[in-house]
Structure 1
């Protein structure tokens, strides 16, 4: 990654900078809404022969943009500890009369050395400013005090030298630029958290023998927590010897960080995602990476654009020319992607999570697969679950999509900023992007925590549909996507070889004419449900619970069955108890409507078959407690839409209702639903398609 950032920085330097000093200057600390500079205070000097004279202190205008301001006036930040340039940044808390002393400290003989101190441009100014006696010295101090009240903060404090009628500022003065470089090297040394983390060595990137630095190079993207040394198997005090970096490489890396990484704006609020393309160690790979940065840096950083496709698919747009060359010539595919997720946790620490080795083809394949799944999967095509909008390419690679699935509610603080605590969203994003295995039981457990968090929130809103139907549909889509990609591992219904059935999908016949037949058809179309007694029983139970709750909502009950039963308490042992409660209530409502017989007889039969298999078969329930809860919620969402389709099929075929099949959600109830809230209409899940 360091080598990649060095290459990216070099490409930017070659493309944008005209002098060797410009890469050191940075506009980011003096640009933006809360950092923009308003004015510049300049100490003017004039060199006449071998004599330097002070010409006063003035307020002058900025350049046209922050980059030009930083370059001309020679501003370079050093993370707030010290400014490596003689030019200083001023704020209301650090006004000009207080920062003036920092400008004087820049002329430190131990840092600049005898050669620079003897340069006429530095020696002349230093003799005026730093000598404690003399009328000119006192005049400068007086001018600084006088101008302090006129400065519009935020501002810069700098100096200029005029010679032969030509005025030059710090960024245009070679001696001051060389001094800035020496301060930068000193800054790297003194900021090290480990002793002796610099010395003469061969740079691990450019292979140059020179003074090199290690931990002191302060590149925050590589640190795990609060810049703590992340490589536990390497002693931090000696780590620079294992990965030494020269000043030129460090500078290029910092240019890449400032102009490429910081320019990106990916990820949900509070969790920043940074995209880092890199080259594999192959011939000409570095040149291809440089070409990519030159041609598509703007697209890769997600810059503002009127092109909606480029904004939503930044990687595909940036990679277009490169992919064309790979596909139509003998150019090898040598570029890959890494993603750095910088996470703000509730402990106020910041963690860094890496995803590495991603090909652009995988990102495109995931996006395409999801679009096709939402369009063609029978569950979505037949309206059994609401069809979510497919995630954008940006939402996929930044982890935003998976984060919303796993932690969108429980991972938010009171300011609606997102945090990364205790949620393996980066892990599952990585597995999607790299075709890593996803364990069915483990991911269901994480999904259920988010489903339950949304359930609690919606109960507080007194909604009739406490389960978020669109979120549930998206979780189903995630599982189906993982299954289609061949990475979902379901040890409950298969083994680790080839006969796993994790959320695979067979054909789903939509011609059923009864609720029970529809439930059985749905189960049979999903081997992961059909082969697990626990999941089957839970799914049937959820579908029946939704039917009962729809009738209770129509009757005006303050709490329906779905609202009153805490899914977090559902286990295999409780399945039969809940089933008894549902069917007893359904029989009562059936009798009150003048009907007799067993409600949803086919569904009840399927439930009991599953329970008997779970209790008596040697394989048991073949489902964890969280899987049982998930499939109960899935049934709650799917059940009403199965009932509606069965009703429509009966109407189309003029099939009369059987006495024991549709007593609770038959024609009488469907006709009366038009008077209810539109969110409880038959086409919606009984759980929150309202969102």
Structure 2
């Protein structure tokens, strides 16, 4: 993946030949609008022979246009940043002391500074010391008066009426380049050097005069944990893990910025980087530009975002026709706090052909008659997306955080690995039972679960099923029973289309019992505006004996209501139960039996006979 990020950097530099090393290392203090105000500490003097005097605090709107003026680059959390431009954390006075003033103390003896440059910086520092109390007072007063998301502190220097920012002072700007280069070779934390000469760079695979061992800009690669350091736990040997030459380090630095700006997406509450690894140059610009343009489209406005059918997934589907010119990595991550980067799930080597297979399966499932319900507000009620999976593996206060399970199943879908049926059905039933127990309609959860199962079934991912090899496309368009004489044949046809799912007599009997139960509940609702028979369903935690015992109870209730229809359905249920034999040998879990049952309930409308004469 590091090579893929380096490739993004090389591509960006090709598109912008004017890009310099300084541009690569520089960061934008605006941070996408999180730090929208700059407090400039204004110092002034008449000529270069006099001391600096403090004038005022100049409040200015921040923006990316100030990037070259502020020359910001983050340093360590406890130390200073690379220049005396700093983001205010908790205390504005603390930031001024620990990030701005302390910078001059930490860097006054930098080896690359010439004596006049050291003197110049020393005079600025002296002015800050002499006016410290007044500056802090003014900063705090302005902070109270200013409504800002975040504040940046920096310096503004007026000399002979000429205004300068720290980006205009070469001796300060030089710290960005010099410190960045030096940090690849020498660690201030470990007080050790890690580099070698005349070695092969792990990125470009060329012999280079010098390779470095402290290149840790990627966040997930560190040299302070066992297993990350070659030669045991010797930091000075870390160059052996990932020897990186200066040119490739700059490519990676650029690629990191590209990754953050254009390849960062959200996926149902999770954040991930979509990183292409180009196998060869065919389609190189098309693939990279497609992702970047899509990201920019989403960033324009909320209104533009809503014009996309499914912004959580569409950028992935767009890549399905690239003829395997690239592999894609979906790196799901979390940044719980500044400077902390955690990989949550890493899906590697996803080919466009696999994406196309997933998309084709989605298109097929979307067309099954069960899910082609009337549109609501111009939108289909059911279309398969990973949002259906998220419905059963949520992250909320009521049901807890199921991110790990959600992303592991997403990983298995992209990688073509089996998904555990028992675990999947148990999660579906948690959602269904919750609705059922609260007397809420469970229809959406039941059909969403069946859509998800059908999708995994079509892909051959369910560990207990072979896959949907016998599904017929024409079956998807419609399904209805128009004559009593056609009843058994139509039901058999339905079961054949999902042969693995309804592959036993027990499953068919349970499903059809669910159908009949719902038809009885409909009669009760129409007759007495209540459904007391629901209490017989034991909160959808019935065992095999409970389900078998429903048929005589339903027969009795239908007789009470003088309703003697559904003869063919009742006959089929009896036949299937007889064929199923001893219920102790059904090999079905409670969750599986009850899901099949409630699925029958919610598909019951399809198992009514549609009269040839609709007015009859």
The corresponding residue for 1:419 is: 401
In the alignment, structure 1 residue 552 sits paired with structure 2 residue 524 = yes
Deviations 1:43-63 (A, max 9, x none): 456774xx5742534434547
Matched residues in 2 for 1:311 and 1:602: separation?
Answer: 43
The corresponding residue for 1:684 is: none
Q: Which runs of 5+ in 2 are unaligned?
A: none
2:388–2:452 Cα contact (<8 Å) kept: no
The corresponding residue for 2:332 is: 341
2:86–2:152 Cα contact (<8 Å) kept: yes
1:343–1:350 Cα contact (<8 Å) kept: yes
- Which of residues 418, 426, 430 is equivalent to 1:452? 430
The corresponding residue for 2:36 is: 36
In the alignment, structure 1 residue 156 sits paired with structure 2 residue 155 = no
The corresponding residue for 1:657 is: none
The corresponding residue for 1:671 is: none
Matched residues in 2 for 1:636 and 1:115: separation?
Answer: 79
- Please give the residue correspondences for 1:639-654 in structure 2 after superposition, counting only pairs within 5 Å: 639-643=604-608, 646=609, 648-652=610-614
Shift of 1:179: 1.6
Shift in CA distance, 531/268, structure 1 to aligned 2, threshold 3 Å? closer
2:211–2:239 Cα contact (<8 Å) kept: no
- Which of residues 63, 68, 82 is equivalent to 1:71? 68
In the alignment, structure 1 residue 171 sits paired with structure 2 residue 143 = no
Shift of 1:631: 1.4
Q: Calculate the TM-score normalised by the size of structure 1.
A: 0.71
- Please give the residue correspondences for 1:583-662 in structure 2 after superposition, counting only pairs within 5 Å: 583-589=555-561, 593=562, 600-615=566-581, 620-621=585-586, 623-643=588-608, 646=609, 648-652=610-614
Give SS of 1:39's match. strand
Give SS of 1:157's match. strand
Matched residues in 2 for 1:109 and 1:610: separation?
Answer: 83
The corresponding residue for 2:26 is: 25
- Please give the residue correspondences for 1:535-546 in structure 2 after superposition, counting only pairs within 5 Å: 535-546=507-518
Matched residues in 2 for 1:30 and 1:46: separation?
Answer: 35
- Please give the residue correspondences for 1:494-533 in structure 2 after superposition, counting only pairs within 5 Å: 504-505=471-472, 508=475, 510-514=480-484, 517=488, 519-533=491-505
Shift of 1:635: 0.4
Shift of 1:267: 1.7
1:479–1:503 Cα contact (<8 Å) kept: no
2:220–2:342 Cα contact (<8 Å) kept: no
Matched residues in 2 for 1:229 and 1:438: separation?
Answer: 33
Shift of 1:352: 1.1
Shift of 1:258: 4.4
Deviations 1:378-397 (A, max 9, x none): 444598xx964425xxxx5x
Matched residues in 1 for 2:219 and 2:480: separation?
Answer: 55
Greater alpha carbon shift after TM alignment, 538-547 vs 105-114: 105-114
Shift of 1:637: 0.8
The corresponding residue for 2:54 is: 56
Shift in CA distance, 428/139, structure 1 to aligned 2, threshold 3 Å? closer
1:431–1:437 Cα contact (<8 Å) kept: yes
- Which of residues 383, 398, 413 is equivalent to 1:390? 383
Shift of 1:638: 0.6
Deviations 1:447-471 (A, max 9, x none): 44234324314532x33x3x2x233
Matched residues in 2 for 1:314 and 1:185: separation?
Answer: 39
Matched residues in 2 for 1:601 and 1:612: separation?
Answer: 17
The corresponding residue for 1:299 is: 294
Matched residues in 1 for 2:356 and 2:76: separation?
Answer: 38
- Which of residues 424, 429, 433 is equivalent to 2:414? 433
Matched residues in 2 for 1:505 and 1:112: separation?
Answer: 78
Matched residues in 1 for 2:20 and 2:228: separation?
Answer: 36
Deviations 1:231-287 (A, max 9, x none): 799967565522234566555545544453365342223x2232112223x4x47xx
1:539–1:632 Cα contact (<8 Å) kept: yes
Shift of 1:548: 1.8
Matched residues in 2 for 1:220 and 1:21: separation?
Answer: 21
Shift of 1:550: 1.6
Count of residue correspondences: 584
Matched residues in 2 for 1:548 and 1:165: separation?
Answer: 90
- Please give the residue correspondences for 1:318-337 in structure 2 after superposition, counting only pairs within 5 Å: 333-337=324-328
Deviations 1:81-108 (A, max 9, x none): 4443222335383224751453233245
Matched residues in 1 for 2:511 and 2:187: separation?
Answer: 63
- Please give the residue correspondences for 1:93-112 in structure 2 after superposition, counting only pairs within 5 Å: 93-96=90-93, 99-107=96-104
Q: Which runs of 5+ in 1 are unaligned?
A: 131-135, 328-332, 495-499, 655-691
